[in-house]
Structure 1
């Protein structure tokens, strides 16, 4: 007598298949993308579309990145379990949630109070206690936060500030979308070496702009 097994929802099956077809091969990243419930991080009206490979709108004029971009950026960070990671641009908290399952600690900085508060609540509700959500300016990371093994920027910067690069530990990796605020940017990967920084352009992307300061409203 065979036992009935509930199949995965079709959209979850396509979600994983799409990531693999587009070149994501790191098994830890794929497993984490499978386990973190993306539907919790989108607006209620968009939950039926949570696993489509597209960006979705969230409050304050921001977006949650498409799954492939989240997986791609995460894979290129080459995370280890003992890493401290800085994220600039918390948004809904989805990228931080993915990072948290693959490293020791995540400090994520958000300039909109509404987003910071809701992301903190979501992450705590899921038991992702190794994430610290900070309301602040991603262009002015508090000195007391120390340095980081990895830095990920999830909003477009016209150029990577040198003082952000200087927060990388030796051998550390930074990934950020770099380019004009209006139009496409290039995802850039910078590695801190003994003599400076090795920079490599990866793929074209499109992110909302990274803006200095803490937003006065929202």
Structure 2
């Protein structure tokens, strides 16, 4: 882990960039500050923990840049007392921030290696309201009831159907949707009764979702 001073400087620089984008939610920024990103990046990339660059992690996955991670969380509008489903645990950074903002987080990833490493980091931070599970995220997470918020960090080829049953009325889904072979955009769906309002937000560098659990990683 980087020194406290370097961590503090990295966070301060991030806050300045986020505020220039109009992101100044105090609860969100406090949750990010309480979740040192240097704990979640591979040691060789520690000096880039708060940069806007994507960072490679195990299993051929990557950790989104700090700016994008917080921007996504800002668009999700998580509130205290809510239940959140995250599809794509990755490093566990967003899982941890979501845990500080909500009542309970269920986070799934197809790679056991990523789930195990993320669990270790969450344990070190003392976060007990985040449950990690190795699972196929193609159909959300069945058998766990409904969620107030669903966030995916793997891109779907078409808008997924599971959210209709797994989102509460008033719930929000934030997910990347493929728009070409190598391009995708973040789509936000808000459920009102049986109706869904769609907003196309911005392009993101996410990889297509791979179905089924990984057997060897």
Bin of the TM-score, shorter chain as denominator length: over 0.9
CA-based RMSD of the aligned residues comes to 1.6
Change over 3 Å in CA distance of 1:73–1:8 after alignment to 2: closer
In structure 1, what is the equivalent of residue 102 of structure 2?
103
Return the offset for 1:142.
Answer: 4.3
Return the offset for 1:9.
Answer: 4.5
Equivalent runs, 1:70-149 vs 2, <5 Å: 70-149=69-148
Matched, 1:163 2:166: no
TM (norm. structure 1) is 0.92
Corresponding residue SS for 2:190:
strand
Return the offset for 1:54.
Answer: 1.4
Corresponding residue SS for 1:115:
helix
Report the count of equivalent residues. Answer: 213
Corresponding residue SS for 1:157:
coil
Corresponding residue SS for 2:117:
helix
Return the offset for 1:56.
Answer: 0.4
Change over 3 Å in CA distance of 1:65–1:100 after alignment to 2: same
In structure 1, what is the equivalent of residue 215 of structure 2?
216
Return the offset for 1:68.
Answer: 1.5
In structure 1, what is the equivalent of residue 14 of structure 2?
15
Structure 2 gap segments, 5+ residues each:
none
List structure 1 segments (4+ residues) > 4 angstroms apart after TM superposition: 6-9
Structure of greater Rg: 1
Change over 3 Å in CA distance of 1:51–1:8 after alignment to 2: closer
Distance (Å, rounded) in 2 between the aligned partners of 1:204 and 1:19: 17
In structure 2, what is the equivalent of residue 55 of structure 1?
54
Contact 2:87–2:140 (CA<8 Å) still a contact in 1? no
Which one has the bigger helix percentage?
Answer: 2
Change over 3 Å in CA distance of 1:175–1:142 after alignment to 2: closer
In structure 2, what is the equivalent of residue 41 of structure 1?
40
Distance (Å, rounded) in 2 between the aligned partners of 1:209 and 1:72: 20
Return the offset for 1:141.
Answer: 3.9
Structure 1 gap segments, 5+ residues each:
1-5
TM (norm. structure 2) is 0.92
Distance (Å, rounded) in 1 between the aligned partners of 2:179 and 2:197: 22
